Amino acid sequence: MLGSLKQNPVLSLDKLSFTTTARRLHHQLRVMLTGSSAEEVCTQIEAALCDQTGMTKIVFTFTGQGVQYPVIGKDLFDNFSLFRTEMHR
């Protein structure tokens, strides 16, 4: 992917995002990136490739596809001080 982005720096990131997630097999190890340009994403990919710290724990994940039940965020906020602290940060 890094090579493709460097060769096509005007590649549409929204199309790339869809293509890499929709109807694809997911690998065991993944990395999360954010960026508004191919250059930003390339920089983050290179940093991730250099990072040799090993596996880390997931702290929080947001799928953006709805919730398991209404007010789940409120329940997390009300009942878990760490979640509340991180949301305030």
42: tokens are: 């390339």
* Spatial CA neighbour of 16 closest among 44, 31, 37: 37
Q: What average pLDDT is seen over the chain?
A: 81
40, 67: one domain: no
62, 50: one domain: no
pLDDT (average), residues 56-71: 67
Tell the burial category of 83 from Cβ atoms under 10 Å away from its Cβ (0-12, 13-18, 19+): middle
**Which structural domain, as residue segments, surrounds residue 26?**
1-55
4, 18: one domain: yes
- pLDDT tens string 32-41: 888 888 999 9
15, 41: one domain: yes
49, 30: one domain: yes
- How many structural domains comprise the chain? 2
